A = this chain, B = another copy of it.
Amino acid sequence: MRKGERTKSAILNHAVATASQLGLEGLSIGSLADRLEMSKSGLFAHFGSKEDLQIAVVHQARQMFSDHVFTPALHEPAGLPRLSAIVQNWVTWTRSADLPGGCPITAAAYEYDDRPGALRDLLSQTLRELRKTLARSVRVAVEAGHLRVGTEPEQLAFEILGIYLASQLEARLFGDPEAWPRGLASFETLIDRYRTGTQT
């Protein structure tokens, strides 16, 4: 009852890394087993089907996101500092060595946005929560007086997501490390538009 969970965890960590590069569909049980030096059937037994493996991968990625992005941001004061920390942590996590293909959640979301099924439903819910968290941070920042009254949380969260998506795409597709600073600059400019006290 103990060993199994350790193995399963190791499988999922490798699977998340692979999925970040090749996508959830690019995962193959055979090559995953090879990389982990175990048999196909032994690996397969931990999940009832490939789809269950893919779902487990998404859950693992969600957990990682929570651990590396959200939770550390709680150490920052609520409002704008916390919002900035989330964005910064997100970028940092994306660039970590554990994720050779960048954020596995946005990659999977883009991959499955047109394939109805359990995976799309799960990813849709995951991204909705992510957006809701960003919007909540914006709302708190308004209430704390960091951002102007009238700032639309949903719209701002939407634009932050856009900046992230563009940064990741350009960083990876162009192999241009300057994409991340450019994205963070866009984020700063975006926030400045709504910041209290320094509004133009």
Contacts and interface: CB of A to CB of B under 8 A. Distances in A.
A162 interface: yes
Nearest to A126: B173
Contacts of A159: 162-163, 166, 186
Given A22-B115, A110-B107, A174-B124, A186 B162 contact: yes
A115 B124 CA distance: 25
A114 B172 contact: yes
Contacts of A112: 173
Given A25-B26, A111-B111, A158 B186 contact: yes
Contacts of A193: 193
A161 interface: yes
A165 interface: yes
A136 interface: no
Interface string A102-139: 10001101111111000010011001100000000000
